[in-house]
Amino acid sequence: MAGVAIEAVRERTDIVDLIGAKVRLRQAGRNLKGLCPFHEEKTPSFVVYPESQSYHCFGCGKSGDAFSFIMDTENLDFSDTLKLLAARAGVEL
Domain residue spans of the chain: 14-77
| pLDDT of 2 | 73
Q: How far apart are CA 33 and CA 21, in angstroms?
A: 14
State the pLDDT at residue 5. 86
Q: Indicate the helix (H) or strand (E) that contains 5.
A: helix 2-12
CB neighbours of 12 closer than 8 A, spacing ≥ 6?
Answer: 89, 90, 91
Q: What pLDDT is stored for residue 93 in this prediction?
A: 85
What's the pLDDT band for 91 if we cut at 50, 70, 90? very high
Average pLDDT of the chain to the nearest whole number: 96
Q: Residue 88 and residue 35: Cα distance in Å, rounded?
A: 24
- What CATH number has the domain spanning 14-77? 3.90.580.10
Q: What is the pLDDT of residues 32-72, one digit of tens each?
A: 999 999 999 999 999 999 999 999 999 999 999 999 999 99
